[in-house]
Amino acid sequence: MDVFLMIRRHKMTIFADAKETTTVQELKKIVEGILKTPPEEQQLYKDDWLLEDAEGSRVPAKGRTLRQKKGGKRGK
């Protein structure tokens, strides 16, 4: 299944698509190709939740979240 992403950075919006099984590390590589920012300098969030790029972590396309951003509100 395809997952459609809207990535916001400052006033820039990037639209991308990926497979449901795409890892966070692979997503960071996609963003690196667009923004020229190395993956180790990126932090990707879903709502207020930080997506970790640990070995085998997947994009939380079905509402799975990994770690909440400090000061953020709790997700549903």
Nearest to 6 by CA among 45, 57, 39: 45
User: Spelled out in words, what is the top-level CATH class assigned to the domain 2-68?
Assistant: alpha beta
Residue 5 has pLDDT above 50, yes or no: yes
- Higher-pLDDT residue of 72 and 37 is 37
Beta strands in 30-69 (DSSP E): 44-46, 49-51, 67-68
Q: Three-class SS of residue 23?
A: strand
Q: In the chain, where are the structural domains located?
A: 2-68
Q: Do the Cβ atoms of 53 and 25 come closer than 8 Å?
A: yes
pLDDT in tens, 11-64: 999 898 999 889 899 999 999 999 999 999 999 888 888 888 776 555 554 444
pLDDT at 29: 93
pLDDT at 36: 93
